[in-house]
Amino acid sequence: MRHLTQLVALAALVAAGPALAADMPTPEKVTVCAACHGADGKATQPIYPHLAGQYANYIEQALKEYRSGKRKNPIMGAQAAGLTDADIRALAAHYAAQSSLLHTPSIHGAAPK
Amino acid sequence: MMKTVRCAAAVLALLSAPGVLAAGDGDAGKLKANTCMGCHGIPGYTNAYPTYRVPKIGGQSADYLAAALKAYKSGERPHKTMQAQAASLSDQDIADIAVFLASAPGVH
């Protein structure tokens, strides 16, 4: 019986996973990123990267490199300077969860429409 | 009037000068992008030390991709493997690869 209870709890957790992602609150600091990267991760200018659907831990790595100064960019260095680790995790999760504009490329097959 | 014409001609010459803004050729880029696929062509492939996923670059903006490759080439952007890869690329190679990746087919 105890196993059954555990199983039910596990099943509930698994089922709640995607719902939790969908209900994730939009981080407050997204408004700053949105000026260039869009709130939904679709860049507002061709020179800025799309972030929609990018891997979360890649975005985290990029923000931490900007914050430490390892990766140099006048705009991003200034923006990342004020971010905490928690901010970075939340922003990366937000953009990774957006409907993706990005994909793993292939040199085979026809270009997608 | 003549001055205006000369100005316009100068602007046109600048815009069409090769190398100033290399126009990318996606077909050429497809051949040149072969090496990229070793890491970027594998879904979820992981960079080691530190550990994070190699970014998805299919569908990314061509202008951004070209700027990124140029920053690796100049050493301004850190990443040993990417710096080594970009070192041998000409501006034309970079433009071609960027245009290809921006509209590349997906792995799936």
Q: What is the ipTM of this complex?
A: 0.79
Is residue A17 scored above 60 in pLDDT?
no
Query: What angle is formed at CA A22 by the lines to CA A59 and CA A30, rounded to 5 degrees?
Result: 45
Residues 64..103 of B with a Cβ closer than 8 Å to A: which? 64, 67-68, 76-78, 101, 103
Strand partners, B58: A103
> What is the rounded CA–CA span in Å between residue A32 and residue B51?
27
Q: In this structure, are strands B52-53 and B46-47 parallel, antiparallel, or unpaired? A: antiparallel
Evaluate whether B12 touches B5 at the Cβ level (below 8 Å). no
Phi first, then psi, for residue A41 (nearest 5°) are 85, 5
CA distance B5 to chain A (A): 30
- Cβ–Cβ gap B104/A106 under 8 Å: yes
Greatest alpha-carbon pair distance for chain B in Å reads: 62
Which residues in A lie closer than 8 A to residue B26 (C-beta atoms)?
111
Specify which residues B52 forms β-bridges with.
Answer: B47
Mean pLDDT, chain A, as a whole number? 85
Judging contacts by C-beta atoms under 8 Å, the chain A residues touching residue B107 are 103-106
> Domain extents for chain A?
25-96
What CATH number matches the domain at B22-102, 3.30.230.10, 1.10.287.110, 1.10.287.1080, 1.10.760.10? 1.10.760.10
Proportion of chain A above pLDDT 90, given as a percent? 71
Q: What does the DSSP 8-state code read for residue B107?
A: -
Lowest-confidence pick of A8-12, A37-41, B25-29, B39-43: A8-12
> Of A40, A89, A95, nearest to A67 (Cα)?
A89
pLDDT in tens, A50-98: 999 999 999 999 999 999 999 999 999 999 999 999 999 999 999 999 9
Q: Averaged over B46-57, what is the pLDDT?
A: 95
Range scoring the smallest mean pLDDT among B8-12, B22-26, B63-67: B8-12
Q: Percent of chain B having pLDDT more than 90?
A: 76
Residue A109's pLDDT is 74
Map residue B53 onto helix, strand or coil.
Answer: strand
What CATH number should be reported for the domain whose range is A25-96?
Answer: 1.10.760.10
**Judging by beta carbons within 10 Å of its beta carbon (0-12, 13-18, 19+), is residue B29 exposed, middle or buried?**
buried
Contact B106 A110 (CB under 8 A): no
pTM (predicted TM-score): 0.79
- Please report, for residues A71, B14, B93, the alpha-carbon distance to residue B26 in angstroms, rounded to integers and kept in the order given: 29, 23, 10
Cis peptide before B50 (omega within 30 of 0): yes
Q: Cβ of B4: how many Cβ atoms within 10 Å?
A: 8
Residues 6+ apart with CB under 8 A from A50: A37, A38, A41, A42, A43, A101, A102, B59, B60, B61, B64
- The 10s digit of each residue's pLDDT in B71-104 is 999 999 999 999 999 999 999 999 999 999 999 9
B37 pLDDT tier (thresholds 50, 70, 90): very high
